[in-house]
């Protein structure tokens, strides 16, 4: 009796593991760090998030800007200083820029050149190395590489 139960369990085991490995991913099972994935089944490729395109603007240096939250809500309640500064744009942080880049397709990450672009003065940043892209679109290192002679490297590093 016990041998028969063990044999039936052994026969069921491969099909159980097969069912576990071929389970489909539903929206509830997608982890938090992958929620940026938007897939278009008709075209078979990733599609950009329309919310990001509506609310943010990507500059050619890799930074994203956005409007001040609530700048158009109940403006008659706000004081003059707030009314003046609320029409300014805010820059996103480095982590926010990386997150927004992940939500876009390569088309939207390319440089865009528009006639009479109101953001033309902001596409190139001077004396700031934080966006990691220079005026030619090349990625910059955050910390320059240090090249040492072999004798100095042997004294201070044990990687060889």
Q: Report domain extents, the chain.
A: 27-111
Q: Do strands 45-46 and 56-58 pair parallel, antiparallel, or not at all (unpaired)? A: unpaired
- In CATH terms, 27-111 corresponds, of 4.10.410.60, 3.40.50.450, 2.60.40.1170, 3.10.110.10, to 4.10.410.60
Phi, psi of 49 (to 5 degrees): -80, 120
**Is the pLDDT reported for residue 148 higher than 80?**
no
Least confident of 10-19, 75-84, 91-100, 126-135: 10-19
What's the pTM?
Answer: 0.54
Q: Which of 21-25, 107-111, 136-140: highest mean pLDDT? A: 107-111
Name the band, by pLDDT with cuts 50, 70 and 90, for residue 25. Answer: very low
pLDDT at 139: 65
């Amino acid at each position: 009796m016990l041998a028969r139960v063990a044999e039936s369990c052994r026969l069921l085991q491969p099909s159980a593991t097969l069912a576990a490995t071929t389970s489909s991913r539903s929206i509830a099972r997608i982890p938090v760090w992958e929620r940026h994935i938007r897939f278009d089944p008709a075209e078979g490729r990733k599609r950009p998030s329309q919310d990001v395109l509506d609310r943010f603007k990507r500059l050619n240096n890799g930074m994203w800007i956005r409007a001040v939250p609530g700048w158009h809500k109940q403006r008659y309640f706000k004081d003059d200083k707030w009314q003046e500064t609320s029409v300014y744009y805010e820059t996103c942080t480095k982590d926010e820029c990386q997150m927004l880049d992940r939500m876009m397709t390569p088309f939207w990450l390319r440089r865009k050149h528009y006639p009479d672009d109101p953001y033309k003065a902001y596409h190139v940043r001077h004396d700031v190395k934080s966006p990691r892209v220079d005026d030619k679109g090349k990625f910059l290192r955050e910390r320059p590489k240090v090249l040492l002679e072999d004798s100095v490297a042997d004294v201070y590093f044990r990687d060889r």
